[in-house]
Amino acid sequence: MLIAIDQSGEVISLAQQPDEQMLGKIRASIYFCPACREPVILKAGAVKIPHFAHKQSHACKSFSEGESARHLKGKSDLYRWIRSTHEVKLEAYLPEIAQRPDLLVEEKTAIEYQCSALPAALFLKRTEGYRQQHVFPFWIYGGPPIKKQGPFYGFSLFHRLFFHYSPSFGFWLLAYCPDQECFTLYSQLTPVYPSLYAAAVQNIPLCSLAYPPAFDAASPFQPFSLSDWFLRRERWLQQQIYFTKGLSGPFFHTVYQSKNHPSLLPLCIGLPVRFMTLIKSHPIEWQFYLWHDLLAYQENATAEEAAAVIKKRIEKGDVQLNQLPLCLSPELPEVMEEYLVIWRAAGAVNKEPCRTVCEQMERKTAFIRNFEEFIISRLIF
């Protein structure tokens, strides 16, 4: 922790990078934990920035011991960054919800700088707590670097908890690295495969960004081609068939039961659509259910009708949503509307299953020629 109180209850903060003289003074005095009132000691070593720790290890509900060097430094960096222009409290306690955000800006934004993995349930609970108090939850990712695979980035279920959404950037995640004192903004996050995302990436030094951060319009993400997409769609099917219990799962079961073959499904099933980040299941799964349960019989269904069908599949456990606690919008009907735009534009032949692999290849070539630009351009925010 970076704050403590003295015998008269005055708060002392270490976020302002105290010098040796100041540290000497602090060492000579007695300080206490603001939460449990037990004595704390100053720790100022080579690895971690100066911080307080409980004198005796005991269960303090409010301040857990063992904050990493990265978390301490990051929190202190962010504090100084915001303090130059805004009123900000370090490690302030919100008694109504028994939560202590890393930073509380003007009583209306809680900043959580999260370096270690946190169970999703706890992430959700804290986020909900802030919302109850009409405090905006702003989570900044501080964990290990996001891994790159070719032109794409791997975002795990944990990473996805940090996704925010804004109409001009699409889904985005902000990371901060205290070693380089630099933010990385990943925006336009668009899955190309489960856990693999196309993203527009910008590195922004702490010193060149003002609080609250206003980002420039992002450069478009590394675009991918529709033929690449179709290859990955086929690879996903193969992986399900060979490496998982996919065949016994509800998707393959329903595909075969309806006398279809997974590799010969209509080309309109399994397309990339704007807002699809909302849904964790592969597009081929939810778009198949949509076709099977609705569009095959009701060509002109509305987005609300489509959303109702998918909601039923979610309740059954056949389709899963991503857990995106920070995104209050977009919602399911918006994803469906996006899909229906493509559905309406695609020719009748693309809504029919193919009979042979040869026929499918021919149709695919024509489909890519006619719709690639239309589909990919709709993905960019």
Structure tokens at 163: 């996704």
| Site stretch for Zn ion (CB under 5 A), options 8-16, 63-71, 144-152, 241-249 | 63-71
Q: Please, are residues 277 and 163 in contact by the beta-carbon 8 Å criterion?
A: yes
Tell me how far, at minimum, the Cβ of 286 lies from Zn ion, in Å: 47
Tell me how far, at minimum, the Cβ of 124 lies from Zn ion, in Å: 25
Tell me how far, at minimum, the Cβ of 32 lies from Zn ion, in Å: 8
Whose Cβ is closer to Zn ion: residue 21's or residue 57's?
57
Tell me how far, at minimum, the Cβ of 29 lies from Zn ion, in Å: 18
Indicate whether 23 belongs to the interface with Zn ion (CB under 5 A).
no
Residues touching Zn ion: how many (CB under 5 A)?
5
| Site stretch for Zn ion (CB under 5 A), options 28-36, 142-150, 177-185, 243-251 | 28-36
Whose Cβ is closer to Zn ion: residue 47's or residue 59's?
59
C-alpha distance from residue 224 to each of 33, 97, 187, 230 (Å): 53, 44, 16, 11
Whose Cβ is closer to Zn ion: residue 54's or residue 280's?
54
Indicate whether 36 belongs to the interface with Zn ion (CB under 5 A).
yes
Out of 35, 41, 206, 349, the residue judged to bind Zn ion by CB under 5 A: 35
Tell me how far, at minimum, the Cβ of 54 lies from Zn ion, in Å: 6
Whose Cβ is closer to Zn ion: residue 61's or residue 344's?
61
Structure tokens at 92: 């302030």
Residue 329: CA atoms inside 13 Å, Cβ hemisphere, count? 5
Out of 3, 14, 26, 33, the residue judged to bind Zn ion by CB under 5 A: 33
Strands 11-13 and 3-5: antiparallel
What does the DSSP assignment read for 127-177? HHHHHHTT-EEEEEE-SSPPPEETTEEE--HHHHTT-EEETTTEEEEEEEE
Out of 60, 94, 196, 349, the residue judged to bind Zn ion by CB under 5 A: 60
Tell me how far, at minimum, the Cβ of 55 lies from Zn ion, in Å: 10
Tell me how far, at minimum, the Cβ of 101 lies from Zn ion, in Å: 17
What does the DSSP assignment read for 91-121? S--BTTTTB--SEEETTTEEEEEE-S---HH
Whose Cβ is closer to Zn ion: residue 64's or residue 227's?
64
Contacts of Zn ion in 300-359 (CB under 5 A): none
Indicate whether 42 belongs to the interface with Zn ion (CB under 5 A).
no
Q: How far apart are CA 376 and CA 208, in angstroms?
A: 33
By CB neighbour count within 10 A (0-12 exposed, 13-18 middle, 19+ buried), where does 196 fall?
A: middle
Beta carbons within 8 Å of 344's beta carbon, 6+ residues apart: none
Whose Cβ is closer to Zn ion: residue 6's or residue 331's?
6
Whose Cβ is closer to Zn ion: residue 35's or residue 196's?
35
> Residue type at 70?
R
Neighbours of 349 (CB within 10 A): 14
C-alpha distance from residue 332 to each of 162, 275, 279, 321, 336 (Å): 19, 9, 9, 10, 6
Residues forming the site for Zn ion (CB under 5 A): 33, 35-36, 60, 63
